[in-house]
Amino acid sequence: MSKTGQSWGRYPQADQTIISISDRHAALPSVAGSALPHGNGRSYGDSCLNDGGTLLHARALDRFIAFDPQTGVLECEAGVLFSEILDLVVPQGWFLPVTPGTKFVTVGGAIANDVHGKNHHKAGTFGRHVLSLELLRSDGSRRTCSPEHHPDWFAATVGGLGLTGLITKATIQLRRVAGPWMSGEVHRFKDLDGFFRLSQASDRDYEYTVAWIDCASEGNALGRGIFTRANHAPAHPDSRPTAPSRRLRVPFTPPISLINPLSLRAFNTLYYHRQRESVGHLTMHYEPHFYPLDGIGDWNRIYGPRGFMQYQCVVPPTRSADCMETLVKTIAASGEGSFLAVLKQFGDVPSPGLLSFPRPGATLALDFPNRGPRTLALLDRLDDIVANAGGAVYPAKDARMPGKYFKHYFPAWESFSPYIDPKFSSSFWRRVTE
Partner 1 sequence: MQKVVIIGATSAIAEATARLYAARGAQLFLIARNATRLTDIAADLRVRGSQEVFHASLDVNDLDAHAHVIEQAWAALGSVDVVLVAHGTLPDQAQCESSVEVALKEFSTNATSTIALLTSMAPRFEAQRSGVMAVISSVAGDRGRQSNYLYGSAKAAVSAFASGLRQRMAKVGVNVLTIKPGFVDTPMTREFKKGALWAKPDDIARGIVRGADRGRNVMYLPFFWLPIMLIIRHIPEFIFKRIKL
Ligand X SMILES: Cc1cc2nc3c(=O)[nH]c(=O)nc-3n(C[C@H](O)[C@H](O)[C@H](O)COP(=O)(O)OP(=O)(O)OC[C@H]3O[C@@H](n4cnc5c(N)ncnc54)[C@H](O)[C@@H]3O)c2cc1C
Q: Which parts of this chain interact with partner 1 (CB under 8 A)?
A: 1-2, 20, 22-25, 63-67, 88
Asked if 40 is part of the footprint of ligand X (rule: CB under 6 A), the reply reads: yes
Nearer to ligand X, 161 or 379 (CB): 161
Using left for φ > 0, alpha for ψ between -120 and 50, and beta otherwise, residue 195 falls in alpha
* Least Cβ distance, residue 243 to ligand X (angstroms): 17
Contact 126, 116 (CB under 8 A): yes
Q: Name every residue whose Cβ is closer than 8 Å to that of residue 374 and which is 6 or more positions away in sequence.
A: 334, 336
* Least Cβ distance, residue 64 to partner 1 (angstroms): 4
Q: Candidates 10, 24, 38, 301: give the one binding ligand X (CB under 6 A).
A: 38
Asked if 36 is part of the footprint of ligand X (rule: CB under 6 A), the reply reads: yes
3-class state of residue 426 by DSSP: coil
Binds 20: which of partner 1, ligand X, none (CB < 5-8 Å by kind): partner 1
Nearer to partner 1, 1 or 32 (CB): 1
Nearest in space to 98 (alpha carbons), one of 249, 251, 208: 208
Nearest in space to 214 (alpha carbons), one of 343, 71, 356: 343
Q: Candidates 24, 103, 116, 229: give the one binding ligand X (CB under 6 A).
A: 116
DSSP 424: B
Nearer to ligand X, 195 or 290 (CB): 290
DSSP 412: T
Q: Candidates 6, 16, 34, 43: give the one binding ligand X (CB under 6 A).
A: 43
Asked if 343 is part of the footprint of ligand X (rule: CB under 6 A), the reply reads: no
Q: Candidates 115, 313, 379, 432: give the one binding ligand X (CB under 6 A).
A: 115
Distance CA 356, CA 128 (A): 11
Nearer to ligand X, 38 or 359 (CB): 38
* Least Cβ distance, residue 391 to ligand X (angstroms): 16
Distance CA 24, CA 232 (A): 35
Contact 269, 336 (CB under 8 A): no
Which x/- pattern over 213-242 shows residues binding ligand X (rule: CB under 6 A)?
------------------------------
3 state SS for 97-154: CCCCCCCCCEHHHHHHCCCCCCCHHHHCCHHHHEEEEEEECCCCCEEEECCCCCHHHH
Q: Name every residue whose Cβ is closer than 8 Å to that of residue 426 and which is 6 or more positions away in sequence.
A: 36, 46, 47, 48, 49, 50, 161, 162, 163
Q: How many CA atoms lie within 13 A of 46 on its CB side?
A: 21
Nearer to ligand X, 163 or 233 (CB): 163
Asked if 89 is part of the footprint of ligand X (rule: CB under 6 A), the reply reads: no
Binds 88: which of partner 1, ligand X, none (CB < 5-8 Å by kind): partner 1
Distance CA 79, CA 112 (A): 12
Asked if 112 is part of the footprint of ligand X (rule: CB under 6 A), the reply reads: yes
For residue 409, which phi and psi values (nearest 5 degrees)? -70, -35
Binds 65: which of partner 1, ligand X, none (CB < 5-8 Å by kind): partner 1
Binds 162: which of partner 1, ligand X, none (CB < 5-8 Å by kind): ligand X
Q: Candidates 396, 401, 420, 432: give the one binding ligand X (CB under 6 A).
A: 396
Binds 48: which of partner 1, ligand X, none (CB < 5-8 Å by kind): ligand X
Q: Candidates 14, 58, 362, 382: give the one binding ligand X (CB under 6 A).
A: 58
Q: Candidates 14, 28, 35, 48: give the one binding ligand X (CB under 6 A).
A: 48
Binds 63: which of partner 1, ligand X, none (CB < 5-8 Å by kind): partner 1
3 state SS for 277-335: CCEEEEEEEHHHHHCHHHHEECHHHHHCCCCEEEEEEEECHHHHHHHHHHHHHHHHHHC
Contact residues for ligand X (CB under 6 A)?
Answer: 8, 36-43, 47-48, 58, 78, 100-102, 105-106, 108-110, 112-113, 115-117, 161-162, 166-167, 293, 396
